[in-house]
Amino acid sequence: MLETLVELDRARAGLAGQLTTALRDAIAEGRLAPGTRLPSSRALAADLGLSRGVVVEAYEQLVAEGRLLSRRGAGTVVAPALVLREPPSEDSRGYPTPCHGSGIRPMRPGVPDPAMFPRGAWRRAYERALGAMTDADLDYGDPAGARRLRTELASYLGRVRAARVDAGALVVTTGAAQAFALLAAALRDAGITEVGFEDPGSHGVRGHLETHGLRLVPVPVDRDGLDVAALARTGVRAVFVTPAHQFPSGVVLAPARRSALVEWARRTGGLILEDDYDAEFRYDRDPVGCLQGIAPDAVAYVGSVSKALAPALRLGWLAVPGKWRAAVEARKTWADLGGPVLEQLAFAELLAGGAYDRHLRRARSEHRRRRDALVAALDRHLPGLRVTGVAAGLHLVVELPPEFDDVAVVARAAEAGLAPLPLSRTRLTAGGRPGLVLGYAATSPGEIDRAVALLAAVLGSGRSNG
Amino acid sequence: MLETLVELDRARAGLAGQLTTALRDAIAEGRLAPGTRLPSSRALAADLGLSRGVVVEAYEQLVAEGRLLSRRGAGTVVAPALVLREPPSEDSRGYPTPCHGSGIRPMRPGVPDPAMFPRGAWRRAYERALGAMTDADLDYGDPAGARRLRTELASYLGRVRAARVDAGALVVTTGAAQAFALLAAALRDAGITEVGFEDPGSHGVRGHLETHGLRLVPVPVDRDGLDVAALARTGVRAVFVTPAHQFPSGVVLAPARRSALVEWARRTGGLILEDDYDAEFRYDRDPVGCLQGIAPDAVAYVGSVSKALAPALRLGWLAVPGKWRAAVEARKTWADLGGPVLEQLAFAELLAGGAYDRHLRRARSEHRRRRDALVAALDRHLPGLRVTGVAAGLHLVVELPPEFDDVAVVARAAEAGLAPLPLSRTRLTAGGRPGLVLGYAATSPGEIDRAVALLAAVLGSGRSNG
């Protein structure tokens, strides 16, 4: 099979280099798909009429580059595409771009406005934390995080999200990203390698779970959220959900579905991974409490400050049911012996002094203005598009007419300086309406109107190209 | 086999609980060694005359506790002891204790004095960083770390450690701990599962590498450091070393050995993992440059601020040869999308403004006083003991007469409020003289004299009990 993919010039020197380049190109262009098992070096050498050393050298170079994986007993396989540092450049969760300075452009979903970051309050909280810091705080600490923060956080999550967590059960993580990495490792340790996943769902979280060795099984989402009956049919023993504000559709998991999901977990011993990623922000009513609060024995709860303060703080948290605690804490210990302590103490000060609540109130009211501005601008410039989901979070979704190619639309929008996310990129299975995920939290109302006018121009020209 | 380890009272209810407890005890007491493969639930149920559900329940509970690992196709095995959160409570590298507040007691190796932490300079650096911070700094950043810090660090490491690193090649990590976790994962991805390891060597690093799936192959250390000829005989393709100040022995890798080690790496394509853990501190002469500086193509270089500022900052770094870069950066990306940015910017300010150099000069002079005080106190209270290693770092080693049990001595010393490390705990193979690793950096000269007097009393009574 490989012979057809590889063209070597045997007259030229550097056959190993030629073979490496040919294989690298085949992987980059998708001709060798992730997971493809390569022939043994001996077999390929025979097929190509090369010495085995040439093939070994090429394989080793590509393994070192992360493009191939070599495991004893399993041979050499093409690495998952996501293992390479090429995360989607404008991901739904604002994942980092390999090149810097792409900036927070209008319509990029999942990022708060850096101009709203409470610099003064954060500086004062950090100073108070430094002042109150003991000698023991400077030592290696509890890998699960500073006790002071876990205490404040447990109280905050109980009060604001109706969570039921003990401080001792919380693990402070380097953003939600690390929480998912730890969960994935703990699931694998327990022999669980398949996880149900909302379809459409968060492309970012998907990358984390897949990179850490889990296979995702799509479970459809409808207007009531995750289809629990469909989940039950998959036979998986863990499932990822965003109950308070489904990403990207914006629907809320309906009460009957919540009960059914918890019942599924208790019946099967399954674990629910709840990503409470932007639930502080609901604009039309009080937010729905988190699922963890009604089933702490069945839910692994994940949150962070990335949507509420700033992704750069890399502060997240994780609370798991008792029987998962030792595994998750061990994984955290051996991942990094715990995260930086001083900013944990600063965030504890921010929570304790009420400054976090005040910041959230301000952000909520400003976000609501921006969402209203976006809805109004869509109505003005693109009156035919339907907005889905409840008034919450940092983004909304508009469906496009079926003849549009949302990836192409986003590429043209990027040329106009906009950064919406194509809805199709959040799907695990083919089909479904094209659409756009539009962020509004980081853009002022005036800019939002201009951005939508630009988008309308893109869509006007896009229909003919779509 | 298991039948002999498990005693069940079939008249009592809760057979699954009884079986769980029996297996847990057998693991804790070492009767079931790490790596032992357990029979299938079906086979064990048949052997013990239980229903299979009882065995499944016990296995699942112990998997959830991290005591067993269950992998598809590999069955159920006893987890490595270190996977459980029971790191040695007074480890050589000051690893965290599961219970808090153990404090920095006299003679604990590997921790700096928290009273020397430059609180004022750090606060000012953090404030400057906040003041200079741009909106983009608050976004998801480069997972490899803030560019500003990597630039300052590359320059610092070149100047102070004679390293040859580009800013772009550095990865900022959550302490050296995460650097070793990332390296271990990258090695495994490349099919390398065995690593040569200094014997005696760092128990802490050993835990990280083993927990992440590497098998350590002991390589003897003599007065010239790692025995490179012995390394070559092992056939491993990677090796862990502490060239500037071997942990724990305190010897420096001799010039001929440095050349031989680099030659080994180039001949075999092997990777040298260099832990430059306390090399800022040399008291009798200028420190030896790092090995990375003479062979950047063969050395993965690891450092941190844990010995120089405070472990709680969790700031470390890693520079790997070009062909390992993509794999390490991908592992970092999917571990946590990068560490907290603001304290990275603060550390960059500390480096740029010269405050870090000033702090190191002060710490170096104070450490030297403390080491001199320890050597003098040993001479006064325990004149028979030989101190090994060069005048450097945060600890020294004394050998004990062969009739002593250093673990028992340390247990008695702990009762007296002291926290030395038994030399035998740093050995991968049996044999060798008993001894003590004594930290001095976190204890004032006056306290040091009192501590050695206490230790002399312990040893005086210990010889008869030894």
What does each C-alpha distance from A358 to A119, A121, A163, A433, B414 come to in angstroms?
13, 10, 20, 39, 48
Query: What residues of chain A lie within 8 A of the CB of B69, using their CB?
Result: 189
Residue B92: what pLDDT? 32
Nearest C-alpha neighbor of A298 from the set A272, A333, A324? A272
Sorted by sequence, the CB contacts under 8 Å of residue A230 that are 6+ apart come out as A219, A220
What's the pLDDT score for residue A87?
Answer: 32
CA angle A261, A264, A270 (to 5 degrees): 105
Residue A90 has pLDDT above 60, yes or no: no
User: Is pLDDT larger for residue B104 or for residue A115?
Assistant: A115
- Residues of B with Cβ-Cβ distance to A323 under 8 angstroms: 61, 64-65
What Rg, from alpha-carbon coordinates, does chain B have?
24
Contact A215, A195 (CB under 8 A): yes
- A116: DSSP letter: G
- CB neighbours (10 Å) of residue A45? 18
* Of residues B293 and B16, more confidently modeled: B293
Question: CA–CA separation, A333 vs B96, rounded Å?
Answer: 9
Chain B's closest residue to A57, CA to CA, is B269
To test the contact with chain A by mutation, choose from B57, B336, B447 the residue with the greatest count of A C-beta atoms within 10 A, namely: B336
Query: Taking phi first (over 0 means left), then psi (-120 to 50 degrees means alpha), and beta for anything else, what does residue B453 get?
Result: alpha
Angle, helices B406-415 vs B445-465, to 10°: value is: 130
How far apart are alpha carbons B324 and B238 in whole angstroms? 13
Query: How long is chain B?
Result: 466
Three-state DSSP class for residue A44:
helix
Give the lowest-confidence range in A317-331, B5-19, B38-52. Answer: B5-19
What is the mean pLDDT of the segment spanning A319-326? 96
In this predicted structure, which of A86-90, B200-204, B412-416 has the lowest mean pLDDT?
Answer: A86-90
Q: CA B374, CA B270: separation in Å to the nearest integer? A: 39
Q: Residues B270-283: pLDDT tens digits?
A: 999 999 999 889 99
Pairing of β A68-71 and β B215-222: unpaired
Q: Report the mean per-residue pLDDT for chain B.
A: 89
Write down the pLDDT at residue B6.
Answer: 74
CB contact under 8 A, B101 and A323: no
Residue B435 scores a pLDDT above 60: yes
Please write the tens of the pLDDT for every residue from B346-369: 999 999 999 999 999 999 999 999
pLDDT digits (tens, 9 = 90+) for A341-394: 999 999 999 999 999 999 999 999 999 999 999 999 999 999 989 999 899 999
pLDDT in tens, A259-305: 999 999 999 999 999 999 998 899 988 888 999 999 999 999 999 99
3-class secondary structure, B37 = strand
Q: What number is the ipTM of this complex?
A: 0.79
Calculate mean pLDDT across residues B274-296: 92
End-to-end alpha carbon distance in chain B? 36
Q: Give the best residue of B333, B344, B347, B349 to mutate against chain A (max A CB count within 10 A).
A: B333
Task: Calculate what percentage of chain A has a pLDDT beyond 70.
Answer: 90
Q: Cα-flanking dihedrals φ and ψ of residue B226, to 5°?
A: -55, 135
Distance CA B436, CA B395 (A): 10
Q: What is the pLDDT of residue B76?
A: 85
Half-sphere exposure of B27 (CA within 13 A, CB side): 27
Provide the shortest C-alpha distance from residue A302 to chain B (in Å). 14
Mutate one of A113, A124, A139 to test the B interface: name it (highest B CB count within 10 A): A139
* Structure confidence at residue B89 (pLDDT): 34
Overall average pLDDT of the A187-211 stretch: 95
* CB spacing of B141 vs A100 below 8 angstroms: yes
CA distances B173 to A6, A284, B124, B335, B336, Å, are 38, 42, 23, 10, 10
Most confidently modeled range among A9-23, A318-332, B382-396? A318-332
With CB atoms and an 8 Å threshold, state whether B147 touches A100.
yes
For B358-363, the CB contacts below 8 A with 24+ separation are B358/B121, B359/B116, B359/B118, B359/B121, B359/B308, B359/B309, B360/B280, B360/B308, B362/B116, B363/B112, B363/B116, B363/B281, B363/B308, B363/B441
| pLDDT score of B97 more than 50 | no
In the predicted model, what is the mean pLDDT of residues B151-178? 96
> Mean of the pLDDT values across residues A24-40?
78
Q: Taking Cα atoms as reference points, which of B9, B35, B5 lies closest to residue B23?
A: B5
Q: Is the pLDDT of residue A53 over 60?
A: yes
Least confident range from A336-340, A384-388, B1-5: namely: B1-5
* Exposed e or buried b per residue across B422-435, where buried means at least 16 C-beta atoms within 10 angstroms of its C-beta: bbbbbbbeeeeebb
> Do A313 and B340 make contact, defined as CB atoms within 8 angstroms?
yes
Nearest to B124 by CA among A127, A138, A117: A127
Confidence of residue B312 (pLDDT cuts 50, 70, 90): very high
Q: Smallest Cβ distance to B178: which of A329, A330, A335?
A: A335
- Rounded Cα gap, residues B89 and B86, in angstroms: 8
Of B95, B130, B336, the CB nearest to A140: B95
Query: Coil, strand, or helix at residue B315?
Result: strand
Percent of chain B whose pLDDT exceeds 70: 90
Nearest residue of chain A to residue B115 (CA atoms): A135
Subunit contact A330:B177, Cβ cutoff 8 A: no
Whether residues A340 and B174 touch (CB distance < 8 A) is answered with yes
Q: Which residues of B touch A17 (CB under 8 A)?
A: none
Identify whether the C-beta of residue B328 lies closer than 8 Å to the C-beta of residue B320: yes
Kindly determine whether residue B324 and residue A64, on different chains, have CB atoms separated by under 8 Å: yes
B77 CA: distance to closest CA in chain A (Å): 11
Min Cα separation B379/chain A (Å): 30
Chain B residues in contact with A123 (beta carbon < 8 A) = 127, 130
Subunit contact A312:B140, Cβ cutoff 8 A: yes
- Which of A122, A142, A343 minimises the CB distance to B340? A343
Angle at B214 between CA A207 and CA B259, to 5 degrees: 115
pLDDT confidence tier of residue B448, bands split at 50, 70 and 90? very high
DSSP A301: E
The per-residue b/e assignment along B181-220, b for 16 or more CB within 10 angstroms, e otherwise, is bbbbbbbbbbbbbbbbbbbbbbbbbbbbbbbbebebbbbe
CB proximity list for A251: less than 8 A, separation 6 or greater: A221, A222, A223, A224, A225, A388, A389, A390
CB pairs under 8 A between A and B: 256
* d(C-alpha A407, C-alpha A435), whole Å: 9
Using a CB-CB cut-off of 8 Å, the residues of chain B touching A271 are none
Query: Where does the pLDDT of residue A10 fall: very low under 50, low under 70, confident under 90, or very high at 90 and above?
Result: confident
Is there a contact between B421 and B392 (Cβ–Cβ < 8 Å)?
no
Buried b / exposed e over A213-250, threshold 16 CB at 10 Å, is ebebbbbebeebbbbbebbbeeebbbbbbbbbbbbbbb
Total Cβ atoms within 10 A of residue B130: 19
Is A181–B315 a contact, with Cβ atoms under 8 angstroms apart? no
What chain A residue is nearest to B137 in terms of C-alpha separation? A312
The DSSP call for residue A286 is: P
Pair of tokens at residue B236: 């491993």
B112-120: average pLDDT: 96
Burial of residue B177 (CB within 10 Å: 0-12, 13-18, 19+) is buried
What separation, in Å, do the N-terminal and C-terminal C-alpha atoms of chain A show? Answer: 35
Cα–Cα distance for residue pair B455/A200, rounded to 1 Å? 65
B96–A337 C-beta distance less than 8 A: yes
**Strand, helix or coil at B59?**
helix
Number of neighbouring beta carbons within 10 Å of residue B72? 10
Whether the Cβ atoms of residue A130 and residue B122 lie closer than 8 Å to each other: yes
Q: What are phi and psi of B97, to 5 degrees?
A: -95, 145
